[in-house]
Each structure stands twice: as structure tokens, then as C-alpha cells.
């Protein structure tokens, strides 16, 4: 059941996000310096705002593709059953690949995606996550590039949703249900 009895409290401002995206782009450019093409793979749907802003800041030549994986549905907790809903159209064998994720939570979705992509033979396969929630990690996985480490809160905004709502917020906010 989708709840509508909640408020959103700002956790990370739009200004702080913009500054961090710019600095992440510099870190990524330095790491992938000299590559002829970086394939940036956005994990849909939560990463679409982040990947758009990040790609505009990168100086490295990029090709952008998307993969959609799901383990949440309309829930606030992961089902731990990962399904690939949309696969890449790009060939990644022999190329540098950067997976762009909105949030690393339990790690199940990202671990599954990395296993699938790794089997395709990329030269390098790294992860950039806007948000990292290490207190919830159930799988030993870590993103090389992390925007912000956050506490164990259910968040929305900047592309991240609750039941397909609140993706359009320019900031990251914590969901506060009225009975919490």
C-alpha cells in the first residue's frame, strides 16, 4: 500500500548537490584520464537527474546508456530479489564503464548489476553513487566515487522516489510518515 501521509525534511540542499557533482566529475575525469570513451551506465530510474548533471560536468568523452533494475517496487524496503527490467544497448566489452547509481543501500541491486556487467568483459568497471547508506549494507560492495554518506533514512528527491513520487524535488529529503 502506498502511503500519502508524510512530510519531507530537507537533508541535502540543491546547492550542496551541485557542488558535489562538480567535484565528483573532476575525480572521475582524473581516474579515467586518457580513456578514449567512458561508457556511463545510469541505473534507472533513480539516477536520471544525477547522471544528466554529472555527464554535463565530465570532460572525459562519454557514451551514455541505461539499465533498469528493481528490488523495491512501491515499497520503502528492498525485496532483495533483483530484476533487470531494461538492458543496455551499448557493447561494453573492452571499454571503461562507470555505473551511476542514485543510492547504495543493502547492495543487492548493485552487486547483481555489477555481476551482469562484469561478465561482459569491460576494461574497467567502477561505480559512482550519489548517496551511500553503509549502515544498511548486506552485501560487501563499495562505490569508488560517493557523493554523500547518509544515515539510515528513507530519502526522496533529485530523481529518487517513493512510489514514483517526489523525483522532481531539487534536493534530497527524508520522508517522515505522520505516525513516526
Of the candidates 169, 134, 138, the one whose C-alpha atom is nearest the C-alpha of residue 155 is 169
Cell numbers that stand for 180 in this block? 513516526
- Assign residue 159 a region (left: φ > 0; alpha: ψ between -120 and 50; beta: otherwise): left
Residue in the structure block whose three cell numbers are 554529472: 54
Is 29 among the catalytic positions? no
Q: Considering 105, 132, 152, 161, which one is annotated as catalytic? A: 105
> What are the residues whose beta carbons fall under 8 Å from the beta carbon of 156, sequence distance 6 or more?
8, 162, 165, 166, 167, 169, 172, 173, 175
Q: What is the spatial distance between Cα 140 and Cα 143, in angstroms, rounded to a whole number? A: 11
Catalytic residues: 105
Amino acid at each position: 500500500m502506498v502511503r500519502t501521509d508524510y512530510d519531507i525534511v530537507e537533508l541535502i540542499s540543491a546547492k550542496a548537490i551541485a557542488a558535489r557533482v562538480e567535484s565528483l566529475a573532476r575525480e572521475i575525469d582524473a581516474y579515467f584520464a586518457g580513456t578514449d570513451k567512458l561508457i556511463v551506465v545510469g541505473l534507472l530510474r533513480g539516477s536520471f537527474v544525477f547522471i544528466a548533471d554529472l555527464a554535463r560536468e565530465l570532460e572525459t568523452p562519454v557514451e551514455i546508456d541505461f539499465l533498469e533494475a528493481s528490488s523495491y517496487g512501491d515499497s520503502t524496503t528492498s525485496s532483495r530479489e533483483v530484476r533487470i527490467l531494461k538492458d543496455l544497448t551499448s557493447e561494453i566489452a573492452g571499454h571503461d564503464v562507470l555505473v551511476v547509481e542514485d543510492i547504495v543501500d543493502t547492495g543487492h541491486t548493485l552487486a547483481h548489476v555489477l555481476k551482469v556487467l562484469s561478465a561482459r568483459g569491460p576494461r574497467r568497471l567502477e561505480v559512482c553513487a550519489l548517496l551511500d547508506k553503509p549502515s544498511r549494507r548486506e552485501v560487501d560492495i563499495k562505490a569508488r566515487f560517493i557523493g554523500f554518506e547518509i544515515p539510515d533514512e528513507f530519502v526522496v528527491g533529485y530523481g529518487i522516489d517513493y512510489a514514483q513520487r517526489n523525483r522532481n524535488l531539487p534536493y534530497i529529503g527524508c520522508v517522515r510518515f505522520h505516525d513516526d
